[in-house]
Amino acid sequence: MKKPDFFKRPAVRVGLLLVVVIFAFIIVKQLLIPKSFNTYGFYRGDNVQEWVSMSAKYSSTGAAACTTCHGDRVTLKDQGSHKAVNCESCHLAAGKHTQATFDAKPVKDSTREACLTCHNKQAARPETSIRQIDDSQHYLGMTCTTCHNPHSPDLGGKKT
Ligand code: HEC
Ligand code: HEC
Ligand code: HEC
Ligand code: HEC
């Protein structure tokens, strides 16, 4: 029996196909690997610079960043039982706002839910470190800030 042409031999065809697939893989791999890959190790080097150039959403100095303009509230809070609670725990990220971009207003949330995040009664929450109330028993339907000043919630403090 006559042998088939070289390129028609099954083993050669499979071999050629394999070579094409391997080349295609290498080309696609080269195209997909970011240029900065392996600059510092097995990851994209540019990523480091991207993180460095990101601006912080929260102010870097906590309540001190609010003193210049809201000194009254900082003082009030420091004297009350919320002294350990950061302004931005309630008002959320205010980094931009502190840089005199007042249109970037921080969140001002007066709902019961905002306070209950920390104060709702939970068996797993130690009563000794944070006082808790039973949502359904404590003046249901009323906004907490009607009675408690959020910046000094002990009822001895004055509401501003
Ligand atoms: C450079 C001055 C300045 C600094 C610093 C500053 N604020 Fe303000 N803030 C203002 C001014 C002015 C307004 C009033 C803007 C208005 O009502 O248009 C305001 C308004 C607010 C409001 C009310 C937003 C509303 O919806 O009524 C909150 C809450 C607030 N600031 C929180 C903070 C916190 C928290 C910090 C610190 C992380 C801070 N601010 C730092 C100037 C400042
Ligand atoms: C426990 C949560 C909480 C903390 C901590 C807190 N705030 Fe507030 N803040 C509120 C709430 C709630 C209001 C809305 C008041 C209202 O509805 O009577 C408010 C209102 C404000 C306002 C707007 C004025 C007004 O009466 O509407 C400013 C300004 C402000 N806070 C600044 C600060 C600063 C500065 C700090 C840190 C020193 C701080 N807050 C800490 C909850 C908080
Ligand atoms: C991020 C957590 C957090 C949030 C949110 C929060 N608190 Fe507090 N609160 C505390 C901590 C911590 C204390 C101090 C420990 C204690 O006395 O339980 C405290 C204390 C208190 C006390 C006890 C005051 C006293 O000495 O008699 C009251 C009342 C109170 N908070 C009301 C509120 C109200 C109203 C809000 C919503 C405007 C609120 N809290 C939001 C953490 C929080
Ligand atoms: C009608 C007024 C009123 C409203 C509304 C109100 N409280 Fe109170 N709250 C009080 C009084 C009065 C006390 C008891 C006096 C005290 O301990 O300061 C108290 C006590 C507390 C205490 C301390 C509990 C303890 O074991 O010592 C916490 C925490 C508290 N309230 C959180 C809240 C939260 C959170 C809300 C909203 C979900 C809220 N309160 C709504 C009047 C109110």
Closest alpha carbon to 61 in 98, 91, 36: 98
* Ligand 1 pocket mutation pick from 77, 105, 108, 149 by most atoms within 8 angstroms of CB: 105
Gap from CA of 103 to ligand 1 centroid (Å): 9
Encode burial over 106-145: b for 16+ CB neighbours within 10 A, e otherwise: beeeeebebbeeebeeeeeeeeeeeebeeeeebeeeeebb
- Amino acid identity for residue 7 in this structure: F
pLDDT in tens, the chain (160 residues): 677 788 889 999 999 999 999 999 999 999 999 999 999 999 999 999 999 998 888 998 889 999 999 999 999 999 999 999 999 999 999 988 998 777 789 999 999 999 999 999 998 988 888 999 999 999 999 999 999 999 999 986 444 4
Gap from CA of 104 to ligand 2 centroid (Å): 15
Return d(Cα 151, Cα 160) in angstroms, integer.
Answer: 9
Rounded to two decimals, the pTM is 0.85
Q: How far is CA 133 from each of CA 55, 92, 102, 121, 159, rounded to the nearest angstrom? A: 38, 23, 35, 5, 21
Nearest bound ligand to the CA of residue 131: 3
